Amino acid sequence: MLIVDACILVYVDVDVCVAVLLAVSVSAFVEELDDSFIETRTADDIWLIKFYAPWCSFCKQLDPVWHQVGSELKSLGSPVNVGKSDATASTALAREFRVRGYPAILMWKKGVMYNYSGPRTKDGILDFAHRVGGPLVRSLSSLKLFQHAVSRHDIMVIYVGATSSLKGNFTSAAEELIVYTYFFSASRDVLPKVVSLPSLPAVVLLKDGTFHTYNEEVDGDLKSWINRERFPNFLKIDSYTLYAMGETGKLVLVALVKRGLCEKSQRVKHLVEKVATEHRETYSRSFYFGFMEDSDYIKGLVMDDVIVPSFIVVNLSNDGYFLPPVVTETELHLLDFLDGVLNGSIQAQGGNDITQRIRRLIFDAKTTLQLIQPKVREAPLLACLLAGFLVSLTALFCYLCLRKRPAVYDDDDDNDQDGVLLASSVQRRKKQTDKKSD
Ligand SMILES: *[C@@H]1O[C@H](CO)[C@@H](O)[C@H](O)[C@H]1NC(C)=O
Ligand SMILES: *[C@@H]1O[C@H](CO)[C@@H](O)[C@H](O)[C@H]1NC(C)=O
């Protein structure tokens, strides 16, 4: 409304009016929401909302992406509205959405909140908006639609058959897991003949160019099975993905490679891909496979520098990791390594017991101090304050540990996400907080 008024006021000067419209159109894609939103929204609205705090630097970094997301959804005519809200000012709204850290990205659809935890990129967020903003289960009513979907998605979970109690389980799995993956339904004749279905109804998972039919006896609960299998067997991993993979309960064999893939990195990556593909039957129940070009997350986990290129197996359920006992150059070495991890002959390192957590906190503090060292000369007071903050955080942590109440993460989660600590440690903290609230 304000925009239109402003425009009418300067209507005499067309140039100014155009300029105003242009300036306004940049921000008009994203609406600023406050507590009154709780009253004004209607049941059919779909909103994608970024909750931020004025002092949070990660939130500021997200601003340009958020504008692009808003403008793209608008230009596509998407039903998804894009908003942002200062969670420190609109506290009732933030409380309703259970915002615990910044920035938080959530979708509100038919009164249900969906949390986005993927990479904070335009593509990642847009995909989330399309997926969660659209139908819960997408019907593939023709071969053409099916083929189109296959060409666009790495992973497809498809329900085949008429209404049944399996369909009920499928829908309830979709309600929870739509934040991660797409859900489809199709009739038998839409699926290729090679997909053998012993009986109907059935749930089929398509990935890595092959298909898996759900079998309750072997695979257990449907929702857990989909959650476990929702990543490709071999993939490029960033720290967000690795963190998310923790929830599948599988171990992850990671090839740490150099960005741009020098020849040696290329070899290491191919070795992992080969083992992932050729030994899928043997290992895919226990392992995911992938490569990472950024080793900061792993450095934080190992609490040391890491060799690149190299191999590491991580257990994200407990922040443990395994390193190959010998120089790994051949497929056989790598298979021996995987077997050693599975049969327990290779010792797990790291973990998330109290001593490891204290070590990790000290490591994070040290890394942070190294990061801010160049700034000491420019802003000695700020640096001292930061150092003091970290020391008191450590002291508080140790105190709470000794009292056998390692709950400090919950309380500090909101304060220390201001880009002060490394992204990796923030994520780890977030993970522990999430686990606790499960
Ligand atoms: C649906 O889920 C329930 C509970 O997890 C399970 O007992 C039941 O067997 C499932 N039904 C089918 C048809 O898979
Ligand atoms: C990974 O961590 C989980 C949770 O602590 C544990 O149960 C499992 O045995 C670990 N896996 C391996 C291979 O050590």
Domain ranges of the chain: 24-118, 135-228, 234-350, 353-431
pLDDT for the residue numbered 353: 79
**Tokens read off for 260:** 């741009």
**411: part of which helix (H) or strand (E)?**
helix 408-412
Distance of CA 327 to the CA centre of its chain: 32
What's the 169 CA to ligand 1 centre distance in angstroms? 6
Q: How far apart are CA 432 and CA 354, in angstroms?
A: 13
Q: Is the CB of 244 under 6 A from ligand 2?
A: no
- Please say whether the structural domain 24-118 has been given the CATH code 3.40.30.10: yes
CA 166 to centroid of ligand 1, rounded, Å: 7
Ligand 1 pocket, 199 CB below 6 A? no
pLDDT given at position 171: 95
Q: Is 365 helix (H, G, I), strand (E, B) or coil?
A: helix
Q: Which CATH class is domain 234-350?
A: alpha beta
Q: Is 7 a catalytic residue?
A: no
Cα distance between residue 290 and residue 234, in whole Å: 5
Distance 432 CA to ligand 2 centre (A): 16
Q: Do domains 24-118 and 135-228 have the same CATH topology?
A: yes
The reported pLDDT for the residue numbered 375 is: 58
Specify whether 59 is catalytic: yes
Return the residue whose CA atom lies nearest to atom 3 of ligand 1.
Answer: 169
Q: What confidence score (pLDDT) does residue 277 get?
A: 93
Q: Please report the pLDDT score of residue 214 as a whole number.
A: 94
Give the C-alpha separation, 158 to 186, whole Å. 7
For position 364, what pLDDT does the model report? Answer: 80
Q: Which fold has domain 135-228?
A: Glutaredoxin (3.40.30)
Give strand pairing partners of 105: 50, 116
Number of the ligand 2 atom closest to the C-alpha atom of 342? 13
Helices (H), 13-142: 14-28, 37-40, 57-75, 91-96, 122-133
- Tell me the DSSP string of 286-339: TEEEEEES--HHHHHHHTS---SSEEEEEETTTTEEE--SS---SHHHHHHHHH
**Candidates 7, 17, 56, 262; catalytic one:** 56
- The atom number, within ligand 1, closest to the CA of 166 reads 13
Query: Which ligand 1 atom sits closest to the C-alpha of 221?
Result: 5
Q: What is the pTM of this model?
A: 0.76
Please give the average pLDDT of every successive group of 10 residues along the chain, which has 438 residues.
35 40 56 90 92 92 94 93 94 91 92 90 94 94 92 94 92 94 93 86 92 92 95 92 90 92 89 94 94 90 87 92 91 94 92 81 80 61 63 62 40 35 39 41
